[in-house]
Structure 1
Amino acid sequence: MTGSASERRRMAAALANKGVLTLPWLRGAVESVPRERFLHPGVFLDEGRTWRPLTALGSDPDEWLKIAYSVDTLATQLDGHLAADQVSEAVAGVPTSSSTDPTTVVGMIEALDLKAEHRVLEIGTGTGYSTALMCHYLGEDNVTTIEVDPQVAARADATLETVGYSTWTVTGDGLLGHPRRAPYHRVIATCAVRRIPYTWVRQTRPGGIILSTVGSWPWGTGLAKVTVKENGTAEGSIIKRSSFMQARAQAVTPVAGDLSARTAYADSEREARVSPLRLEEWVPAFLAQLSVPGAHFVRAATSEGARLLYLFDPERADGGGWVVRQGGPVALWDKVERTLIAWQAAGNPDITAVQLRVTDRSHAYWVDGQPALRWEHRVDGGY
């Protein structure tokens, strides 16, 4: 048995012991697909403020395999262009493509409830590893995968061909789907979206499933699983917390300029009824986004070190409480605060209590039995 095969079996056993890998066919795929091949030309290892490049050719084979099967998310691109073989020393940067940790990958594939005859659309090819796992079971002709980054797409396509999966790889905006190969039984997105595009619903068969992370605030997103109905709507729930890079077309642009100067002249100021620090907790952050879709949540600090939190308007610490200063046409904090108070009054339900419905005109979210925890986002941008 080769070192790679041994590591694959070890990783499969570890995932099975965690209760993540339960399907025999998927375990067979994990034990067969060489993850290290999909990390070519290399990865970036997180060293805090910098990323250390590591390539297969420049590292000890045993070390390379240990990293490849470490059950960690491994960054494979920084700043939208930089690959590990292009630098020799640690660099600063922001990951823009990665090989997601196998626990998450396997968990999502299991949640798809795949059958051997299903046709799947994958949004976000990345390295192509998850694509290969599905091809192993469904066959290469039943999987279509879309990647927005041409460089990433080319590498994934080459690797898939090399390991024996000549599947349908497309370079383009996954938010548009791929109508040429529709309809699909399953759609799976390995990026986060602000809301599920109706194009995905339209390209999915009735009874089909769409699985995607929704939300845009860091550490405040959820994995939505919806089933498409005969009437062209899709309905389901948030099944767990989930974190993925934002779809490129929806990536949040950092708020530019001096935020304190931009928000110096507020229309109102009052004591907060709920601590804004609750927005640094996963479920409150997710629900807050439903109240103010499109708002940016920004963390900052004064020159003296006092914490500042912004929703385009600042909230600042003052003694033991928080003073909220708001300005502009929409009182964002009022909306968020009402949601947080209603959530607390309902007993702090988990993110899995959130239901959702997708139509061609709107997205609706709700928690059963809680009239104050209902939101509808219209496609035209209203809410």
Structure 2
Amino acid sequence: MTSPDPATLRRALADQLEVGGVLRTPAWREAVEAVPRELFISSFFRDAPGPDGITRYTPVSRDIDVDEWLTIVYQNETWVTQLDGHLTPDTANGPVTGFPTSSSTMPSTVVGMLESLDVEKGMNVLEIGTGTGYSTGLLCHRLGDDNITSVEVDPAISERADAALEAAGYSTWTVTGDGLLGHPRRAPYDRTIATCALRRIPYAWVRQTKPGGIILATVGPSAWSYGTGLAKLKVKEDGTAEGRIIGRASFMPARAEAAIPLSGDLSARAAYADTERKTSLSPDVLNDWMPAFLAQLAAPGAQLVCAVSDSRETVYLFDTSRESFAALTTDGDEWNVRQGGPVAIWDAIESAVTAWKDAGEPDITTVRMAVTPETHAYWIGDQQLASPDRSYSIDEKPELRWLHRYPPLST
């Protein structure tokens, strides 16, 4: 049996992405056909549910079966490369459990983002989140090694990515540090792209991107694995950035914003409520992408947990940073909500989702956003959806109603 040829597999992957409408330009197709993904994911985890329902991660590497490994590498799939911030496939003995903290994102997502970046030869690009280095390699091939700066917070991941890039023939600027601060030494940038999800776009990125430049990042993360949107912003001459959500996207959260999974007795955490009432909005609606996106804007930092005790389901929302909670239980055809702490989590979510429903349930791509030195805000048309801090308009755009507003992450 003939072993698979990497070049043939790359061409097949490019064909698949082109047929799927993701790969649209010859320059990016050339990059996909040229960059050897196998150098960036020499080993990875395959996940599958165990008999107890808990996901098990099995290490895969060329040492097990080089032909199978190479074929899997070029599938249009996301492969986890690190668990719990330290466990890698080459250090795992058999199937393990854990929480994914780094991965090689599926090529269709990576290439789709790069196509949306609207790059041209000679542009200077800042990438937040080097990860395995595969997307960095695509950028290097397209724009040249010296035009790419990639920042990775995890030293071990950064070292492996840098070695893989060198092996692939790319001597680019890889930096170990907090990507939320950008990298001012190589600024200003024509483009800034993030391969991690964020609660908000740092103003430092706006400041380090040229007027007319583009910032592309996934926003809206919490402990949920969905309900996030890909934001595309253009930086303006006045030092602000404005744009819209161009589609759904899913990335692991930035390391500094990753939620610590809740443990212990959740009912005890929600034992003392300040208010209790009926709600006509079922928490089941949060299983849908757009309501989940709105919920995360209305209650940033909240974690969603479902629990069953004595055949009774309770849906919890906890914001540990604000010491607030909402607990919802069924009462016949209605839901009962108990809330505690300084932030009424469910009130904010209910207001946002209800207003969205009243507006005809528009798609996530109707959401616009703006980042200024003072604020980070979202809106849909003239419809106010949520404002857990306060509702306001700005002088230059008095017709806008903000659905959420909060200070920037970094100035």
Is the TM-score greater than 0.5? yes
What is the CA-CA distance between 1:263 and the residue it aligns to?
Answer: 1.4
CA deviation after TM superposition for structure 1 residue 204, in Å? 0.2
1:276 is aligned, of 257, 277, 283, to 283
**Residue 339 of structure 2 corresponds to residue 334 of structure 1:** no
The SS at the match of 2:303 is: coil
For these two proteins, the number of residue pairs brought into alignment is 379
In structure 2, C-alpha distance between the alignment counterparts of 1:142 and 1:196, rounded to whole Å: 22
Q: Which of the numbers 47, 54, 57 marks the counterpart of 1:51?
A: 57
Q: Does the 8 Å CA contact 2:45/2:57 hold for their aligned counterparts?
A: yes
Give the equivalent residue in structure 2 for 1:367: 380
For 1:1-383, what aligned pairs fall within 5 Å after superposition?
Answer: 3-40=5-42, 42-48=43-49, 49-59=55-65, 61-217=66-222, 218=224, 219-304=226-311, 306-311=313-318, 312-372=325-385, 374-379=402-407
Q: Aligned-residue CA RMSD in angstroms? A: 1.6
CA contact (8 A) 1:302 1:308 kept: no
Query: How far apart are the structure 2 equivalents of 1:65 and 1:29?
Result: 19
Please give the secondary structure, in 2, of the residue aligned with 1:283: helix
Q: Matched residues in 1 for 2:308 and 2:182: separation?
A: 41
Q: Provide the secondary structure at the position in 1 that maps to 2:267.
A: helix
Tell me the alpha carbon deviations over residues 188-236 of structure 1, each in whole angstroms, 9 at most, x when there is no partner.
Answer: 0000010000000000000000000011232111111000000000000
- C-alpha displacement at 1:313, in angstroms? 2.0
CA distance in 1, matches of 2:142, 2:385: 44
CA distance in 2, matches of 1:249, 1:241: 22
Deviation at 1:371, TM superposition (A): 3.5
Asked if structure 2 preserves the Cα contact closer than 8 Å seen for 1:276 and 1:309, the reply is no
Asked if 1 retains the 8 angstrom alpha-carbon contact of 2:373 and 2:408, the reply is no
Separation in structure 1 between the aligned mates of residue 247 and residue 293 of structure 2, nearest angstrom: 12
Q: 1:376 to 1:3 in 2, by over 3 A?
A: same
Instruction: Note the C-alpha offset of 1:256.
Output: 4.5
User: One-letter code of the match for 2:56?
Assistant: T
Q: 1:295 to 1:310 in 2, by over 3 A?
A: closer
CA distance in 1, matches of 2:261, 2:384: 34
User: Taking structure 1 as reference, are residues 220 and 2 closer, same or farther at Cα in structure 2, changes over 3 Å only?
Assistant: closer
Tell me if the contact between 2:4 and 2:67 (Cα under 8 Å) persists in the aligned partners.
Answer: no
SS at match of 2:280: coil
Task: In structure 1, give the amino acid aligned to 2:274.
Answer: D
Identity of aligned residues (%): 56
In structure 2, what residue type is equivalent to 1:298? Answer: V
C-alpha contact 2:212 2:234 (8 A) present in aligned 1: yes
Give deviations 1:101-129, integer Å, cap 9, x for gaps.
00000000000000001010000000000
Unaligned residue ranges in structure 2 (runs of 5+): 50-54, 319-324, 387-401
SS in 2 for 1:306: strand
Unaligned runs of 5+ in 1: none
Measure how far apart 1:4 and its partner are.
0.3
Tell whether the 8 Å contact from 2:203 to 2:408 is kept in structure 1 after alignment. Answer: no
- Which residue identity does 1:377 align to in structure 2? R
- CA change 1:35–1:305 in 2 (3 A) is farther
Q: Residue 349 of structure 1: CA displacement?
A: 0.7
- Note if contact 2:307-2:314 (Cα within 8 Å) is conserved in structure 1: yes
1:253, CA displacement in angstroms? 2.0
CA deviation vs aligned residue, 1:71-114 (integer Å, no higher than 9, x gap): 00001111111111112311111111100000000000000000
CA distance in 2, matches of 1:278, 1:365: 21
Shift of 1:380: 7.3
TM-superposed deviation, 1:338: 1.2
CA shift for structure 1 position 329? 2.2
Once the two structures are overlaid, the 10-residue window that deviates more, 6-15 or 291-300, is: 291-300
- Shift of the 270–99 alpha-carbon distance from structure 1 to 2, 3 Å rule, reads same
Q: SS of the residue aligned with 2:290?
A: helix
